[in-house]
Amino acid sequence: MKKIGIILIICTGCATNTSDILKIGSDRYTISAAHTGLGSGLTSHSELREAAIKKATEFCETKNLNFELISSETNGVPGITSIDDTLNFYCR
């Protein structure tokens, strides 16, 4: 029982969030996805990247344009610290 209680406490307050999409150039944008709390739980960088790409793709599609990844950057250690993934992308 004690182990289950500790796991519940660690995961309390954890959440995965994506930022608003910000314009950083004429057709360039950036978005971040993060898992915050007392650790990143079972979330991986690839899951964060997938959430960010999905939101960015939907954003580009509303403009009748295609998502094109420029770069990505990851920070944090899954399961130990908060983690985030930032994408820079084009809508073309």
pTM for this prediction: 0.78
- DSSP assignments along 20-85, one per residue: PPEE-SSSEEEEEEEEESSS-TT--HHHHHHHHHHHHHHHHHHTT--EEEEEEEEES-TTTS-EEE
Its domain, for residue 76, covers 2-91
Could you give the percent of the chain with pLDDT greater than 90? 61
Instruction: Say how many domains are in the chain.
Output: 1
Q: What is the pLDDT of residues 42-75, one digit of tens each?
A: 788 899 999 999 999 999 999 999 999 999 999 9
